[in-house]
Amino acid sequence: MDTVDICLVSTGDNEIPLIADELISSPALRPGTIVFHCSGATPSSIFSALRGRGALIASVHPVKTLPLRWKMQVHSPIHGAA
């Protein structure tokens, strides 16, 4: 599997801890990978364990949230498109 430079986690707030747990063992992560989320309520510290893998963590809080009716189905939250 290829590694990634940037990993944006754009899920519901309650899914972020689950994604963080999956990322810990993901072969896509490498030292220097930037991992961030765009939740308005969750701090970037949710990804603290990823620092042990050399990831740089952050969060970008939205100016406006999306209503629930905009919810999309994501089949694979770990793998993005290049």
56 phi/psi in degrees, rounded to 5: -100, 130
Q: pTM of the full predicted structure?
A: 0.72
pLDDT digits 0-9 by tens, 21-71:
999 999 999 999 999 998 878 889 999 999 999 999 999 877 766 666 655
pLDDT value for 42: 87
Helical residues (DSSP H) of the chain, grouped into ranges: 16-24
3-class secondary structure, 6: strand
Which residues, at least 6 apart from 25, have a Cβ–Cβ distance to it below 8 Å?
none
| In the predicted structure, residue 79 carries a pLDDT above the cut 80 | no
- Provide the residue ranges of all domains of the chain, joining segments of one domain with +: 6-63
End-to-end Cα spacing for the chain: 13
